[in-house]
């Protein structure tokens, strides 16, 4: 049931740190591109972040910072339903209902949970569940609800989230099998960026840019910090005059994602020819990024201010999201036998 007849694209980002260039290329930009053809529903998965963020100030700041990033990068809150997950209580009621139709074995096999147990095993702990909270274990059920309650057709995510989408489809299938005579969920599908590895940005140490590796370039870092971070990108010690392989360089991969095609072609040719050092590439990368990010940085800082329009936008979005969620939850309640009094 789409309200406008168009298909629905939905995605969420967890506020677990400052948004970085990788989040922009892998998640925010593809989702914003879909927003022109699909009805779009994008949110901040703050209760998902609670599985790992324990500092209340950090949780609040990062939630705001993810929200401000979406708006700064061009999300139009008139066209996109945009909200904080925690402002839609219907999600948490449905989470219980769907937990009751989800096999525990399915959760035992979830990648994130298995990875946490593997880390415990590698650390030689006897209790493989040490330090793992029920939020982490139930994480895929909450994510399935985020998607199903909004009746999403497509969910733009990185490759690492594909299993979660399979789980959402599975959980919807279990419910539909039991209760489909009265209410059934739409089965959602993941959409991953084409050539996913091509769109996985490296961080300053050459590994995948990730908050968990502490190697990120935050999108709205002040100019001086941006320059320092770019200078610190790992490069080899090939002398300036020697020809260089652009594709072996993390700085070049970043450059490719932000410079114009003509700038990229020119830089590629200069590196291959020799006579251009990694330092020069990094200067060019800084110029390109700074040129694009400077005007956005101001908008971001405005939105981050405590009395900005962000709160009003999120409150309106939450109301629109709840209007979507309510009839779905009502259908579910009817289907399971929790009738209105
Ligand atoms: P992180 O690894 O920094 O914790 P998240 O897991 O919060 O990032 O990712 C949020 C979104 O950003 C996901 O859709 C993910 O696929 C995307 N993403 C994260 N890092 C990168 C990267 N280095 N390159 C491309 N996309 C990324
Ligand atoms: N699990 C996703 C991540 O770690 C975030 C997320 C939560 C999400 N709920 C979602 C993504 C619903 C897409 C749809 O990146």
Q: What residue owns the CA closest to ligand 1's atom 24? A: 200
Ligand 2 contact, 14 CB (< 6 A)? yes
User: Does 177 share its domain with 250?
Assistant: no
Can you tell me which atom of ligand 2 is nearest the CA of 13? 5
Tokens 């449905």, located at residue: 94
Rounded distance between C-alpha atoms, residue 49 and residue 135, angstroms = 10
Ligand 2 contact, 146 CB (< 6 A)? yes
User: Does 329 share its domain with 291?
Assistant: no
Rounded distance between C-alpha atoms, residue 226 and residue 292, angstroms = 12
What pLDDT is stored for residue 9 in this prediction?
97
User: Does 55 share its domain with 172?
Assistant: yes
How far, in Å, from the CA of 132 to the mean position of ligand 1?
22
How far, in Å, from the CA of 161 to the mean position of ligand 1?
10
Structural domain count, the chain: 2
**Ligand in nearest proximity to the CA of 42:** 2
Q: What residue owns the CA closest to ligand 1's atom 7? A: 14
Residue 121 maps to a domain? yes
What pLDDT is stored for residue 1 in this prediction?
46
Question: Could you tell me where the beta strands, DSSP code E, fall in 162-256?
Answer: 189-191
Per the structure, the complete domain to which residue 283 belongs is given by 220-301
Can you tell me which atom of ligand 2 is nearest the CA of 152? 14
Q: What residue owns the CA closest to ligand 1's atom 15? A: 158
Residues 3/151, Cβ–Cβ less than 8 Å: no
| Listed residue (190, 201, 99, 193) closest to 153, CA to CA | 190
Pairing between strand 154-156 and 80-84? unpaired
Residue 133 backbone dihedrals phi, psi, to 5 degrees: -95, 165
User: Does 231 share its domain with 167?
Assistant: no
Residue 96 corresponds to which tokens in the numbers above?
């219980």
In DSSP terms, which residues pair with 39 in a beta bridge?
A: 8
For ligand 1, residues with CB inside 6 Å are 13-14, 16, 22-23, 25-27, 157-158, 160, 199-201, 208-212
**Ligand in nearest proximity to the CA of 91:** 2
What pLDDT is stored for residue 94 in this prediction?
98
Q: Which parts of the chain sit beneath pLDDT 50?
A: 1, 196
**Ligand in nearest proximity to the CA of 212:** 1
Residue 213 maps to a domain? no
Could you tell me the CATH number of the domain that includes residue 106?
3.40.50.620
CA distances from 315 to 73, 83, 91, 130 (A): 20, 7, 16, 38
User: Does 160 share its domain with 256?
Assistant: no
């Amino acid at each position: 049931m789409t309200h406008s007849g168009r298909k629905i694209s939905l995605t969420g980002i967890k506020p677990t740190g400052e948004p970085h260039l990788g989040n922009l290329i892998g998640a925010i930009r593809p989702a914003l591109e879909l927003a022109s053809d699909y009805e779009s529903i994008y949110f901040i998965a703050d209760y998902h972040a609670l599985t790992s963020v324990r500092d209340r100030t950090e949780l609040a700041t990062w939630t705001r910072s993810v929200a401000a990033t979406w708006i700064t990068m061009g999300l139009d809150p008139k066209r996109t339903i945009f909200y904080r997950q925690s402002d839609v209580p219907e999600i948490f009621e449905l989470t219980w209902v769907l937990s009751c139709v989800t096999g525990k074995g399915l959760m035992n096999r979830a990648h994130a949970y298995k990875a946490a147990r593997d880390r415990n095993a590698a650390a030689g702990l006897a209790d493989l569940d040490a330090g793992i909270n029920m939020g982490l274990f139930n994480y895929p059920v909450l994510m399935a609800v985020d998607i199903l309650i909004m009746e999403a057709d497509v969910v733009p995510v990185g490759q690492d989230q594909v299993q979660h989408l399979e789980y959402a489809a599975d959980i919807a299938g279990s419910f539909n099998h039991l209760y489909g005579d009265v209410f059934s969920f739409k089965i959602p599908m993941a959409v991953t960026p084409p050539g996913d590895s091509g769109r996985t940005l490296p961080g300053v140490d050459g590994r995948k840019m990730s908050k968990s590796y502490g190697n990120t370039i935050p999108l709205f870092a002040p100019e001086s910090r941006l320059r320092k971070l770019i200078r610190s990108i790992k490069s080899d010690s090939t002398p300036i005059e020697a020809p260089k392989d652009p594709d072996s360089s993390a700085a070049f991969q970043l450059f490719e994602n932000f410079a114009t095609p003509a700038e990229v072609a020119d830089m590629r040719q200069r590196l291959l020819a020799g006579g251009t050092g990694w330092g020069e590439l990094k200067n060019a990368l800084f110029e390109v990024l700074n040129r694009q990010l400077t005007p956005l940085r101001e908008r971001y800082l405005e939105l981050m201010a405590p009395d900005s329009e962000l709160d009003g936008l999120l409150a309106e979005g939450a109301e629109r999201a709840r209007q979507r969620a309510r009839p779905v939850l009502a259908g579910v309640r009817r289907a399971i036998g929790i009738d209105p009094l």
